[in-house]
Amino acid sequence: MTLPWLTVLGLIPIVGALLLCLPVFKHVGKVVGLAFSLLTFGVGSCVTVLYLGGLNLNEQISWMPAFGTYWALAVDGMGLLLVLLTATLVPVVLIAEWNIAERIQQANPEAKRWDGRAFFALVLLLEGLCLFVFMAQDVLLFYLLFEATLLPMYFLIGGFGGSRRSYAATKFLLFGLVGGLIMLVSVIGVYVWSETEAGNPTYLISELTKLDTGATGSLLMICFLVAFILKAPMVPVHVWLPTTAEEATPGTSALLVGIMDKMGTFGMIKICLALFPQESINAAPVMITLALISILYGGLAAVSSPNLLRLVAYTSVSHFGFMVLGIYTFTSVGMSGSIFYMVNHGFSTAALFLALGYLIKRGGSAKIADYGGVQKVAPVMAGVVLVAGLSALALPGMSSFVSEFMVLAGAWSRIPWVAIIAALGMVLAAVYVLRMYQRVMTGSLESELATKIGVDLDLKERLIAGFLILVILVLGFVPNLALGIIEPTAVNIVGVLGLSDPMPQLGGK
């Protein structure tokens, strides 16, 4: 029997999280936690090598026979890259938030809060669940894990956030539960549907794709879709994200927006498009409209946001609009771009959140108005913020440029005017990033702020920022590293829909 690589990959961080709860690790908990996250990264790399080597990694064990559900894991190009993204970002965040408990203690000495070990354990738990979500090949399994990720994130926000953390955590959880329960309708419906169609209920995605979608197909697809729209926050249901990002610590926000929200777009592709192709095509006009609204509204809201963290949250709303646009224009170029964007956006948002986190930690405020001229005292930090911002505005050379360009190219080949409107989002991106940089980093520096900011980034902070920027640049200059893995998957996904594919070749990029 071969090693069940994927199960092992997901279990490592979960086991790590459980171990951290033992009192034995009271003093070395954080080191152990980091070790587990690095081990996960190592196994993730092994899985990548094995996948590229053509090894069959699929696992399928009957789990709840009465439901027709399986412990079924597999990766395709999209899943693999998201797994890698998760496995890479988590150690980075753990290192970045190493002193989180001390920092909170310092900011608010009288409140007794949780220690750093709890943060590490929750992050690892979240990592394990996210990894399983990206590998799940069974609808019920996907749903269970999708819901389960809410809890560690809820405690991360509620346990380590700012002053209104309880409110933000509840808002996050409620929106999550709304989505989850709407999806539950579909999950139950899929059971009834598969029982009617196939005679024997099943939740395996590979089995369900063979079935005729039947009379309830539209209802089921819509419920799934609503849940995913809530997760990858699109206007008008994005309202939980800015609140959450504002209250959570930057590390938590990086995980939330960088990884967890990808489950939304991931689910659209993995479940909506795969199980309900015709219904998805019918839904495309609505989705494209929502995507355009998200792109523009997110951009405008980011321009006018007075708060740095809210600003980043709104940029993400805008970027999720691009991803959804790529998905629902149904071209292999747009789809590849969209999947690539999910990965890029993870790194780029994490860089932005962490860089601004450094600033906020020193300045003690997330209000843009409280800053000015920071680059005079902390040039390296200003540089990091600038590069992360440029990545968010998709400057050529940054990885997000490639993906945004592909999404727009895909949209252009399907419906040109959509691409034109979406391109306005790129203009807005330039406005909000550069304005933010101008107001925070340039201008005159007040002496009070200068003392607060004090020293520039230390070695650890530089290493983290440098690493993320390196990833962004490498993927920007050699996008084929990732696109090579994505492309076959994207072609498959679009192929299922049975539409003409206006620009099937990716060559020459």
Partner 1 sequence: MTIPDPVFEWLELSPVLVVFVAACLGVIIEAVVPRKARFYCQLVLAEISLLSSVGFLVFNGVRGAWGPLAMKAVMLDGPAFVAWLALLVFGFLALLVFAERKINAGATAFAALASAVPGSATESEAIAQRREHTEIFPLALFSIAGMMVFVAANDLLTMFIALEVMSLPLYLMSGMARSRRILSQEAALKYFLLGAFASAFFLFGIALLYGYSGSFNLARIADSLGFSTMNRGLLLCGIGLMAVGLLFKAGVVPFQFWVPDVYTGAPTPVTGFMAICTKLAAVVGLARVFYVALGAERWSWQTLFAVLAIATMLVGVILALTQTDLKRLLAYSAISHAGFILTAVVGAYQNVAAGRVNAFGSIIFYLIAYGFGIIAAFAIITTVRDEGGEATRLQSWNGLGRKNPLLAGVFAFLLLSFAGIPLTGGFIGKWEVFASAWAGGFWWLAITAVGFSLVAAYVYIKVIMAMFFEEPDETVVVGKASLFTWIPVAIGALATLYLGIFPEHLMELVSNLQIFLR
Stretch that binds partner 1, among 191-199, 232-240, 287-295, 475-483 (CB under 8 A): 191-199
Which tokens hold the place of 136?
């799940």
> CB neighbours of 496 closer than 8 A, spacing ≥ 6?
209, 273, 274, 277
CB of residue 154 to partner 1, shortest distance in Å: 8
CB of residue 482 to partner 1, shortest distance in Å: 32
Asked if 15 interacts with partner 1 (CB under 8 A), we say no
Asked if 13 interacts with partner 1 (CB under 8 A), we say no
Q: How far is CA 98 from CA 112, 335, 368, 396, 457, in A?
A: 18, 37, 26, 33, 15
Which stretches within 373-446 are classed as H helix? Answer: 379-392, 399-414, 416-441
**Cβ 103 vs Cβ 181: under 8 Å:** no
Stretch that binds partner 1, among 60-68, 80-88, 262-270, 289-297 (CB under 8 A): 60-68
> CB neighbours of 497 closer than 8 A, spacing ≥ 6?
273, 277, 280, 281, 330
Asked if 173 interacts with partner 1 (CB under 8 A), we say yes
Asked if 192 interacts with partner 1 (CB under 8 A), we say yes
Asked if 11 interacts with partner 1 (CB under 8 A), we say no
Hey, which residues between 194 and 233 contact partner 1 (CB under 8 A)? 195, 199-201, 216
> Longest C-alpha distance within the chain, in Å?
75
Q: Which is nearer to partner 1, 67 or 437 (CB)?
A: 67
CB of residue 13 to partner 1, shortest distance in Å: 17
How far is Cα 70 from Cα 68, in angstroms, rounded to an integer?
7
Kindly tell me which residue out of 166, 278, 438, 505 binds partner 1, with binding defined by CB under 8 A. 166
**Cβ 55 vs Cβ 110: under 8 Å:** no
> CB neighbours of 56 closer than 8 A, spacing ≥ 6?
none
Q: Which is nearer to partner 1, 161 or 410 (CB)?
A: 161
Kindly tell me which residue out of 72, 84, 96, 144 binds partner 1, with binding defined by CB under 8 A. 144
Hey, which residues between 99 and 118 contact partner 1 (CB under 8 A)? 111-112
**Strands 59-64 vs 69-73: parallel, antiparallel or unpaired:** antiparallel
Asked if 24 interacts with partner 1 (CB under 8 A), we say no
CB of residue 216 to partner 1, shortest distance in Å: 8
Kindly tell me which residue out of 77, 158, 242, 389 binds partner 1, with binding defined by CB under 8 A. 158
Q: How many residues bind partner 1 (CB under 8 A)?
A: 38
Q: Which is nearer to partner 1, 172 or 347 (CB)?
A: 172
Asked if 49 interacts with partner 1 (CB under 8 A), we say no
Q: Which is nearer to partner 1, 159 or 389 (CB)?
A: 159
Residue whose structure tokens are 């998201």? 82
Asked if 185 interacts with partner 1 (CB under 8 A), we say yes
Which stretches within 256-371 are classed as H helix? Answer: 262-267, 274-275, 277-304, 308-328, 332-363
- Provide the 10 A C-beta neighbour count for residue 412: 21
Which tokens hold the place of 262?
């990808």
Give the phi and the psi of residue 123 in degrees, each rounded to 5. Answer: -65, -40
Binding string, residues 63-82; x marks residues near partner 1 by CB under 8 A: xxxxx---------------
Residue whose structure tokens are 């940054």? 398
CB of residue 192 to partner 1, shortest distance in Å: 5
Asked if 382 interacts with partner 1 (CB under 8 A), we say no
Which tokens hold the place of 356?
């601004």
User: How do the residues of the chain divide into helix, strand and coil, expressed in percent and rounded to 5?
Assistant: 75, 5, 20
Which tokens hold the place of 180?
């989850």
Asked if 165 interacts with partner 1 (CB under 8 A), we say yes
Kindly tell me which residue out of 7, 170, 480, 492 binds partner 1, with binding defined by CB under 8 A. 170
* Interface ranges with partner 1 (CB under 8 A): 63-67, 111-112, 143-145, 147-148, 151, 155, 158-159, 165-166, 169-170, 173-174, 177-178, 181-182, 184-185, 187-189, 191-192, 195, 199-201, 216
